Chains A and B, each alone.
Chain A
Amino acid sequence: MPDDDIDRARRRFLQTTGAGATLILAGCSAFDSDSDETPTDTQEETNPSESETDDPPESPSGQVEQLDAYPRVKIASVSELSTGDVIEFEYPLQEQSNFLTRLGEQAWDGVGPDGDIVAFNAMCTHAGCSVSGSVEPEDSRAGPCPCHYTSFDLSKGGLVNMGQATSDLPQIDLEVDGGDIYATYVEGLVWGYHNNLRTGTPIEAAQSN
């Protein structure tokens, strides 16, 4: 498309997603107890508007690292996660942004005493925009995505309820151990990657795991 159209689209995109920057981070205190595993607020990095910068992205080939397997990483504690909280975390690579939430209703593969704690990768499986700013735990929903409006049912494995995504939102396998919630696996391909464990830098917790 012509350059002026790109600019126009970008401006609109920023307008559209501006609200996404004010992410719900209730439950942040859960991380204070364990600085090694502090999830990073990666909104700046993962906001897809970053992809529209004028400078072409640097080739990642020089800095590619990879994992051989999915690490087991502590995300939060059950006791400090209230219904409706949404917590962002990266896993297993940096910039692979995910969210953990407590729905208040039992969910497929949910953990915790009520089976209502779930986590998903935040990249919409349609075109890679972040849905972390449009998570509605009370409706068990992520979306509509700010870009093309796909919405996902978080109580049913991230099923595409409506919209253009062809695949479910990748669910993060969770385990609860001693009251702590651990991420152990990603069910499905993270958008934009050819392999969830490649072409990126493992999160610090994974490297030290």
Chain B
Amino acid sequence: MSHDNDVPIPPTSAERHSTACRYCIVGCGYEVFKWPVGEEGGPSADQNAFGIDFPAQALGGNGITTEMHTVIEENGEEYNVIVKPDDDNPVNNQWSSGDHSVRGGSIAQTLYSPENDTEDRLKYPQIRIGGTLQPVDWETAIEAVAKANELAMDRNGPNGVGQKLYFYQFVENTYAGTKLHFDVIGSPNWGGHNRPALTPENPGMRNAGLWQFAYDYEDTQKADNVVMVGAEFYENKSIIFQEHIQLGVQDGATPVHIDPRQTFTSNYSQNNDGMHLQLEVGTDAVLLSSVARHILEQGWENTEFIEEWTMRERSTIDDEGWYQKEFGQTFEEYQEAILDEPRYKPENAAEITGIPAEDIRSFAELIGKPDENGERPNTVFLWEKGLIWGFSHENSAALGNLVLLTGSVGRPGAGLSRGGGHQEGFWVGGPAGEAIGEHSTQTFTTSDGEEVTIAPDTDERVRNGEILHWHVIGCDPVRGSYNTQQLRNAVRERTSGPQPQSADAEEIARAWAERMDQGGMVLTNQEIYPRTTTEFADIVLPATTWGEESDYHRWNGERRLRQYSGFMEGPGEAKPDWEIFSMIGQEMGATDMDWGSADEIFEEIASEADHGVHALKAIHDKAQEEGKTTAEKVSEMDTTGIQLPARLEDGELVGTDRVHQPDEKVPGSGRFFTSTGDAIFMQVDWNRVEDVYEELKPDPSNDEIWVTNGRVNRLWQNLYSHTRDPQIIKRFKQNFIELNPADADRIGVEAGDLVEIRNDDVYNMYGENTEGSFTAIAYVTEDPPQGQIVPEGTAFTYWLYPGQVANDIAPAYLDPANPNPSYKLAAGEVVRLGESELKEEMSFQARNIAPE
């Protein structure tokens, strides 16, 4: 980190590397400048690499903050590194230039550097011997992983091995990891970093043929209405909000925020002639279906679109697949179901959701009613956590239905997209469907009584003993799963059996075989830092990450593919994830995983990706024509990259601004992602979840309130980097819980008190309910200028804080047809433990003050 009051200016000779932010889905373009310590540029435009005169001009994108600079060490030499937003790409340069979030603006502090708090990066492979993790060489570690796989498969077939892998950390790594798991091992037991099964996050949309990242960011600038469900866009999709949504609103678009909290985005919406629909936690599906009902009753549905672009025959829907047969509806079936359900009458929905009936009707009118010329409003529907991780099918289906009902898709200013969390870089490198279809031990019984095999909840299979070797990569499931207190207890118990007493291969095999035979499990953790899961690991494999060694590729929330340049070495003996997977695969006999570089893997992916929403073979073909690699071709596109799918038009490489356009340009697909290219309405039946909802709801007789959870502006995921950046973490040195003063008074706590959130009856669909608890600092604001951020009876806390884990009380309810957890629907009793040492240090100012 720089001194507090100065930063070095990069000289014109500084190396420049193109990349994109390491964090959220927005995927702002960034550039990295690297040059030897001791050299420095000057303040005039001709003296520095930015080509600007200092001081930098406001909003110009070229200010260097102390958080953007660090010094790294390579081969005994020191180098200055500046990581700053790029001022020449369409993502973060619309309203202002070189815009950045608090997360992106501090990336430099996350680089491995003697100046940063990054000393605890994992540097050497380790094996737990005699109860202690000890450094070993790579060969010993890889042999041990392969042996753990072999022992597990000897006992339980491929199902004995479970893999838990990030969805986002670049296509090269996810391709190699899933090739190892689905191809070499052939196991169905695969979970992503955020959910325990290979399931769609929005099943009610994905199975309807809708893509979850379908729009172009600039559509929000052209929209009449921007509807944001959950997420808190200002805090968590900051640059989409600041550079795109804000422009649309200033041009007259009506912002609508649907969220149980009254956040910055809620107040921004209200302050700009929009709406905040502050619904009761978990009732999204009722609210959205009630809106649909009013549209239908008024005859505002987009008949022309529905007739042309949705499946009209029951038999066609039945042929699509079991999910569509179970939940899909023709328009007529959908209309009848919505109109026949009394709960969806606005007055009744108001009782369930807490939203006044007149507001439900107003919102329906806003998005549904054509003007006097018959013109329909252009609405962009954005959603994220809240809608996701509630009732998975019902919520996503209800919103997808509104998109179809109003025909708000595939034209400038209209569309749908997740707000998104992380960026996307998932590429399946093995036969996942085959492995799941042949070996999964989880089924769903349809209403016709048919048993269908579905992707298994692997976290449950860690608990119940099916998985004997769990390979966890780049995520922290004992914090990030549901009902994590119980999961940690299970993992602790299952890894605590016999341990090797030396690094001898035979001794390792003996101890682990014995442990497995006693019902235990071996845990491999492939990571960049030690995390909570690492506490239980038998094998630790140190990985490199963003910016280190390899050039990588992934895309953002408008499917914009960019190259993430490697510009520095990793720590110690850490290796890229793809190389670790390659070594394990080869140790297990694979002959097609001997890649020499990440570029080779990207070439392999691109050469075959000729259809679908992420088609990029056109880039490969164009590169070949020009005598380049695909990676070189993407590199030429710098921070702008190309929006997938890519295709060749008259020999020229072009991207796709939005999918679901009527003149569909997605190679190999129709307008929607179904066999006919038509979209499907999806059943939203509150009866399906009502009993569970009643059980999950807070029990006032036990002093329970909703304790929902999610992201906040300054913190990223499980804080793997932010606990190591003093400037960032000082805002929240511990987890916090936002409480309404009325609840705080009743409980007897005030701002700065340490509280414990307890639930002795955490819902568990698989068996007996369990107990969970975590601690947090009470965040209470008296008389905030724009209203309380949480209503009485609802608290909000950070979702993945180390050691203070909100998921410890998250229910084990997963949709039976598509096992996604309902992380958001947690409740508990808040109890005062005492006064926190942070009481005087922490700020408790309102976090929802929007411009008026």
User: Is A141 part of the binding interface, using a Cβ–Cβ cutoff of 8 Å?
Assistant: yes
> Which residues of B from 69 to 105 have beta carbons under 8 Å from A?
90, 93-102, 105
State whether the Cβ of B8 lies closer than 8 Å to any Cβ in chain A. yes
**Which listed residue, A13, A58, A186, touches B59 by the CB 8 Å rule?**
A13
- Any B CB within 8 A of the CB of A60: yes
Chain A binder among B679-687, B725-733, B791-799: B725-733
Q: How many cross-chain pairs have Cβ atoms below 8 Å apart between A and B?
A: 181
Q: Are A123 and B58 in contact (CB under 8 A)?
A: yes
* B785 located at the interface, meaning its Cβ lies under 8 Å from any Cβ of chain A in the complex: yes
Nearest Cβ on chain B to A54's Cβ, whole angstroms: 13
Query: What residue in chain A is nearest B47 (Cβ atoms)?
Result: A61
Judge whether B66 is part of the interface by a CB distance below 8 angstroms. yes
Q: Which of A26-34, A109-117, A144-152 contacts B (4 or more CB under 8 A)?
A: A144-152
A162 touches B849 (CB 8 A): yes
Q: Are A148's CB and B58's CB within 8 A?
A: no
B-facing residues in A181-204 (Cβ within 8 Å)? 186-196, 198-200
A101 within 8 A of B: no
Contacts of B847 in A (CB 8 A): 161-162
Complex contact B65–A187 (CB within 8 A):
no
Q: How far is the CB of B211 from chain A (nearest CB, A)?
A: 27
Distance (Å) between the CB of B703 and the closest chain A CB?
30
Q: Which of A8, A64, A168, A194 counts the most B-chain CB atoms under 10 A from its CB? A: A194
- A192/B56 in contact, CB under 8 A: yes
A71 within 8 A of B: no
Q: Which of A72-80, A83-91, A126-134 contacts B (4 or more CB under 8 A)?
A: A126-134
Measured between alpha carbons, how far is A26 from B95 in the docked complex, in Å?
33
A191 engages B63 (CB within 8 Å): yes
Docked CA distance A86–B294 (Å): 52
* A167:B849 contact, CB within 8 angstroms: no
The verdict on A82 contacting chain B, using a C-beta distance below 8 Å, is no
Contact B105 A129 (CB under 8 A): no
Contacts of B250 in A (CB 8 A): 12, 15
Are B8 and A9 in contact, CB atoms less than 8 angstroms apart?
no
Distance in Å: Cβ of B784 to nearest Cβ of chain A: 9
Query: Are the C-beta atoms of B95 and A12 separated by less than 8 Å?
Result: yes
Please, which residues of chain A bring their CB within 8 A of the CB of B841? 156
> Does A51 have its Cβ within 8 Å of any Cβ on chain B?
yes
Stretch from B38-46, B118-126, B402-410 forming part of the interface with A: B38-46
Give the residues in chain B near A162, CB-CB below 8 Å: 235, 264, 713, 845, 847-849
Q: Cα distance A194–B52 when bound, in Å?
A: 12
Assess whether B43 is in contact with A192, with CB atoms less than 8 Å apart. no
What residues on A are CB-neighbors of B56 within 8 Å?
128, 191-193
Contacts of B581 in A (CB 8 A): none
A76 to B103, CA, bound (A): 38
The interface residues of chain B lying within 8 Å CB-to-CB of A153 are 843, 845
Is residue B7 within 8 Å, beta carbon to beta carbon, of the partner chain? yes
On whether A64 and B59 interact (CB within 8 A), knowing A139-B785, A199-B54, the answer reads no
Docked CA distance A177–B8 (Å): 36
Dominant secondary structure at the B interface: loop
Total B residues in contact with A, Cβ cutoff 8 Å: 62
- CB of B59 within 8 A of CB of A192, answer no
A59 touches B53 (CB 8 A): yes
Chain B residues with CB under 8 Å of A167's CB are 65-67, 727
CB contact between A193 and one of B54, B106, B728, B850 (< 8 Å): that residue? B54
Q: Does B242 contact A (CB under 8 A)?
A: yes
Contact partner of A141 (CB less than 8 A), chosen from B55, B67, B105, B845, is: B845
CB pair B59 A129 closer than 8 Å:
yes
Q: Decide: A9 and B94 in contact? CB cutoff 8 A.
A: yes
The answer to whether B64 and A140 touch across the interface, beta carbons within 8 angstroms, is no
A5 on interface, CB distance cutoff 8 Å = yes
A159 at the interface (CB under 8 A from B): yes
At the interface, yes or no: B623 with Cβ under 8 Å from chain A? Answer: no
Which residue of chain A lies nearest to B64 when distances are taken between CB atoms in the complex?
A194
- Min distance, Cβ A108 to any Cβ of chain B, angstroms: 9
Docked-complex contact A189 and B106, CB < 8 angstroms: no
A127 touching B99, Cβ below 8 Å: yes
Given contacts A139-B845, A162-B713, contact A199 B58 (CB under 8 A): no
A61-B42 in contact (CB<8A): yes
Partner of A192, one of B58, B106, B851: B58
Number of interface residues of A (CB under 8 A): 62
- In the assembled complex, the Cα of A188 lies from the Cα of B106 at a distance in Å of 15
* CB-defined contacts of B843 to chain A, threshold 8 Å: 153, 155-156, 159, 161
Whether, in the assembled complex, A143 has its beta carbon less than 8 Å from a beta carbon of chain B, the answer is yes
**Smallest beta-carbon distance B49→chain A, Å:** 13
A95 to B58, CA, bound (A): 12
B residues 834-852 near A (Cβ < 8 Å) are 841, 843, 845, 847-851
Q: Counting CB contacts under 8 A, is B238 at the interface? A: yes
C-alpha gap A165/B102 in the complex (Å): 5
B24 to nearest A CB, angstroms?
A: 12
The residue from B6, B44, B68, B713 contacting A163, defined by CB atoms under 8 A apart: B713
A49 CB → nearest B CB, Å = 8
Please report the C-alpha to C-alpha distance between residue A155 and residue B844 in the assembled complex, in whole angstroms: 11
With both chains docked as a complex, state the minimum distance between the C-beta of A65 and any C-beta of chain B, in angstroms. Answer: 12
B286 beta carbon closer than 8 Å to chain A: no
B67→A166 contact, CB < 8 A: yes
Residues of B within 8 A of A159 (CB): 730-731, 843
Contact A60:B54 (CB < 8 A) given known A9-B95, A125-B65: yes
Q: Across the interface, do B7 and A194 meet the contact criterion of CB distance under 8 Å?
A: yes
Taking CB atoms, residues of chain A closer than 8 Å to B97 are 1
Q: Hey, which chain A residues are within 8 Å of B61, CB to CB? A: 127
B591 contacts A by Cβ under 8 Å = no
Is B58 touching A127 in the complex (CB atoms < 8 A)?
yes
Bound form: Cα–Cα A194–B42 in Å? 10
Q: Of the candidates A149, A191, A192, which one forms a contact with B264 in the assembled complex, judged by CB atoms under 8 Å apart?
A: A149
Q: Tell whether, in the assembled complex, residue B849 and residue A186 are in contact, meaning their CB atoms are under 8 Å apart.
A: no
| A-side contacts of B65, CB under 8 Å | 125, 166-167, 189, 191
CB distance from A164 to the nearest CB of B (A): 5
Closest B residue to A150 by beta carbon equals: B102
Is A51's CB under 8 angstroms from B58's CB?
A: yes
A residues near B701, Cβ cutoff 8 Å: none
A48 within 8 A of B: yes
Whether A143 and B43, one on each chain, are in contact in the complex, defined by CB atoms closer than 8 angstroms, is no
Q: Provided the pairs A139-B785, A163-B713 are in contact, do residues A149 and B63 lie with their beta carbons within 8 angstroms?
A: no
Give a binary string over B528-569; 1 marks a CB under 8 Å from any A CB, 0 the rest: 000000000000000000000000000000000000000000
B702 within 8 A of A: no
Indicate if the CB atoms of A186 and B58 lie closer than 8 Å. no
A37 at interface by CB-CB < 8 Å: no
The one of B8, B47, B94, B851 in contact with A146, judged by C-beta atoms closer than 8 angstroms, is: B851
Q: Which residues of A contact B850 (CB under 8 A)?
A: 144, 149
Output the least CB separation between A207 and chain B (Å). Answer: 19
CB distance from A105 to the nearest CB of B (A): 12
Whether A189 contacts B234 by the Cβ 8 Å rule is no
Q: For B3, give the chain A residue with the smallest CB separation.
A: A189
Q: Tell me the complex Cα distance, A187–B47, Å.
A: 27
Which partner residue on chain B sits nearest A5 by CB separation? B94
Residue of A12, A148, A161, A187 near B845 (CB, 8 A) is A161
Q: What are some 20 contacts across the A-B interface (CB < 8 A)?
A: A1-B90, A13-B95, A13-B96, A48-B58, A59-B45, A123-B58, A126-B105, A127-B59, A127-B98, A151-B849, A162-B713, A164-B100, A166-B105, A166-B727, A186-B5, A188-B66, A193-B54, A194-B6, A194-B8, A194-B64
Residue numbers of B with Cβ under 8 A of A are: 2, 4-9, 42-45, 47, 53-61, 63-68, 90, 93-102, 105-106, 234-235, 238, 242, 247, 250, 264, 713-714, 727-728, 730-731, 785, 841, 843, 845, 847-851
Chain A residues in the interface with B (C-beta under 8 A): 1, 5, 8-9, 12-13, 15-16, 48, 51-52, 57-61, 64, 95, 123, 125-130, 139-141, 143-144, 146-149, 151, 153, 155-156, 159-168, 186-196, 198-200
Q: What 9 A-B pairs have minimum CB-CB distances, sorted nearest first?
A: A48-B58, A128-B58, A51-B57, A61-B44, A192-B55, A166-B67, A195-B6, A192-B56, A153-B843
Known: A9-B94, A147-B58, A165-B102. 10 other contacts (CB 8 A): A51-B59, A59-B53, A140-B845, A147-B96, A151-B849, A160-B714, A164-B242, A165-B105, A188-B5, A192-B54
